[in-house]
Amino acid sequence: MERPLTQYIHPGCPPFDIREYEMTGGYSALRKALSSMTPKEVQDLVKDSGLKGRGGAGFSTGIKWSVVPMGEDAPRLKYLIANADEMEPGTFKDRLLLEGNPHQLIEGMILAAFAIQAEESFIFLRWAYKKAAQLLRKSIHEAYKAGFLGKNILDSGFSLEMHLHTGVGRYMCGEETALLNALEGKRATPRAKPPYPQISGLYGKPTIVNNVETLCNIPHIVNNGVEWFKGLSNSEDSGTKLYGVSGKVNNPGCWELPMGVTIRELIEEHAGGMKNGYQLKGVLPGGASTDFLTAEHLDIKMDFASVQKAGSRLGTGTMVVMDDATCPVGFVHNLQHFFAQESCGWCTPCREGLPWVEKMLLSLEQGSGTAADMELLEMHTHMLGPGNTFCALAPGAMEPLQSALKYFKDDFEKHISLHKCPYE
């Protein structure tokens, strides 16, 4: 069965230029859409395919598009933005697509822009992705030269400009409204919703922000149809997914697999199992801001509903494995240090609470923690949880902490009773 996203991506080989991309069917979906489909038909096709956002939220892509005002009376301009600000710890899937096949993203963006009738598009790229930036600039230039970008694309009457914007390196820019503020040259803080970006986004105009992996699916759905895309999956969620595994496994990496592959298959077959001398203690299934799962969850399907039912989130689908020689307190402290320094400071619970959580975890790790710290940490998982902060950064930070307190409480208590880290 054809694997749509990474079929022509080979590690160590340069990505296709536009001529090579077209030889493998590249831009055929764009030609098809512009010559024989209406924007509404593209929207409906993507909605019917069941494609969900691959950036972590898992919301229906087609439904998200459908909120954008359409027709002659719709506001102008409209914007389409690719969120390539991949800064979630443990996540590296979009980098594979950006460096391996940049024209696939560009074609997906043009199709998405056509579907919502956007005239301007941006790729918001993580600052550290230097190679991806170089390749994207080259590929965008090639697409303009070939007539796939600019005025009156393929004599269809549809026009689109595309720009590459390199971010300044803040995790908060991955949140779509903070990303919009950053694009406007403002401080990267989240916006209140409603209004939602589909109605009032970049510069107050209708805007769609989609993840890189999400957009890379669009050309294949247009070319092959709804049933083909649904047939790629092993679960109720359609399509394939880029899954990653990092940690003390024999073969860390990233693979495109049917949606719904189990945690066990990912770790034992594709990642080659745990390294000699190490046992699995826990996994963060979808990046740093997801709840721990343990060995009892190995047969859980990696799809949105199954992982949520198990008590975590699919997130980005890039798994971080924690082994039995790694201290859970130190592991979680490292994550909280990251989230604390990446807080935008916009709301008090996140700005003040995350540094306090980090401080308590450091005390435990250094052997000076107390039983009262455990109670305070537990309290913070609720006080910084959903509904108590302006955006999802702090609630996401609490997910690995609250699940570590649930599954690895003995390790926390040993730090208190021994007055040191038992893993030293």
Strand, coil or helix: what is 420?
coil
**77 contacts 208 by C-beta, under 8 angstroms:** no
> What would the pLDDT profile of 137-153 be if each residue is shown by its tens digit?
999 999 999 999 999 99
Last residue of a domain, one of 273, 289, 323: 323
**Average pLDDT score over the chain:** 95
CA distance 54 to 312: 16
Q: For residue 92, what is the domain's CATH number? A: 3.40.50.11540
The amino acid at 157: G
> What would the pLDDT profile of 165-189 be if each residue is shown by its tens digit?
998 888 999 899 999 999 999 999 9
- pLDDT at residue 8 in the model: 66
- pLDDT at residue 214 in the model: 97
Tell me: do 316 and 395 sit in the same domain. Answer: no
Residue 54 lies in a domain: yes
* Backbone φ and ψ of 123, nearest 5°: -105, 115
**306 contacts 278 by C-beta, under 8 angstroms:** no
Which secondary-structure segment (H or E) carries 82?
A: strand 79-84
- pLDDT at residue 15 in the model: 84
**316 contacts 56 by C-beta, under 8 angstroms:** yes
Last residue of a domain, one of 323, 344, 371: 323
What domain range is 314 assigned to? 243-323
Tell me: do 286 and 226 sit in the same domain. Answer: no
- pLDDT at residue 31 in the model: 98
> What would the pLDDT profile of 225-237 be if each residue is shown by its tens digit?
999 999 999 999 9
Sheet with 207-211, side-by-side order of all strands: 161-166, 120-125, 79-84, 207-211
Tell me: do 314 and 352 sit in the same domain. Answer: no
Q: For residue 259, what is the domain's CATH number? A: 3.10.20.600
Sheet with 253-258, side-by-side order of all strands: 253-258, 240-246, 318-323, 280-284
Cα–Cα distances in angstroms (integers) from residue 118 to residues 46, 59, 67, 169, in the given order? 17, 21, 13, 27
**159 contacts 150 by C-beta, under 8 angstroms:** yes
- Give the pLDDT band (50/70/90) at residue 7: low
- Give the pLDDT band (50/70/90) at residue 9: confident
How long, in residues, is the chain? 424
**171 contacts 161 by C-beta, under 8 angstroms:** no
Strand, coil or helix: what is 184?
coil
**198 contacts 207 by C-beta, under 8 angstroms:** yes
Tokens of 121: 């598009």
pLDDT score of 1 more than 50:
no
**pLDDT above 70 coverage of the chain, percent:** 98
- Single pTM value for the model: 0.94
**65 contacts 39 by C-beta, under 8 angstroms:** no
- pLDDT at residue 10 in the model: 67
- Give the pLDDT band (50/70/90) at residue 12: low
Tell me: do 174 and 145 sit in the same domain. Answer: yes
Token match 């040191």: residue? Answer: 420
Pairing of strands 120-125, 79-84: parallel
- Give the pLDDT band (50/70/90) at residue 272: very high
Any idea what the Cα angle at residue 31 is, between residues 27 and 36, rounded to 5°?
150
**255 contacts 304 by C-beta, under 8 angstroms:** no
**282 contacts 306 by C-beta, under 8 angstroms:** no
Tell me: do 194 and 110 sit in the same domain. Answer: yes
Mean pLDDT of 316-338: 97
CA distance 179 to 191: 10
DSSP for 104-150 reads HHHHHHHHHHHHHT-SEEEEEE-TT-HHHHHHHHHHHHHHHHTTSSB
Last residue of a domain, one of 270, 288, 323: 323
Our count of domains for the chain comes to 3
